[in-house]
Amino acid sequence: MKSIMIGMLSLVSLCAHSADADAIQRGKGLFMQHQCYSCHGTEGQGGERNAGPKIFPNPTPFVAFELQLRIPRNQMPRYPVQSISDAQLKDLYTYVENMRTSPAVAQIPLLNNAMR
């Protein structure tokens, strides 16, 4: 019985991870499709000349994220439900939460060797 429970928990964990991975991929597609990167940078680092604020790491809570997309402050375009559905908004937020920064040059052997 114990091994069955462990197996079921592992399956649930695997399904949740897969769902998250799918949501991240959908969110990344939305980030590119709606050109969010043009203001916020490809890694959420913020845009040049203050085009858009840094959104990664430490993204704003989901409620604030949703409010900013639906009723934006400053120069950000508005994204109503007709443009980005609530489900898509969650995927986009999942992507932003899980953005990864590029490794440092020292961590990329080919570049590290070229810098010597």
Q: What is the pLDDT of residues 6-44, one digit of tens each?
A: 544 444 444 445 569 999 999 999 999 999 999 999 889
Residue-number span of the structural domain to which 101 is assigned: 2-114
pLDDT band of residue 96 (cuts 50, 70, 90) is very high
Q: Count structural domains, the chain.
A: 1
Three-state SS annotation for the chain:
CHHHHHHHHHHHHHHHHHHHHHHHHHHHHHHHHCCCHHHHCCCCCCCHHHCCCCCCCCCCCHHHHHHHHHCCCCCCCCCCCCCCCHHHHHHHHHHHHCCCCCCCHHHCHHHHHHCC
Predicted pLDDT of residue 4: 57
pLDDT 10s digits, 2-16: 555 554 444 444 444
Q: What is the CATH number of the domain that holds 54?
A: 1.10.760
Each residue's pLDDT tens digit, 70-93: 999 988 999 999 999 999 999 999
Question: Global pTM?
Answer: 0.73
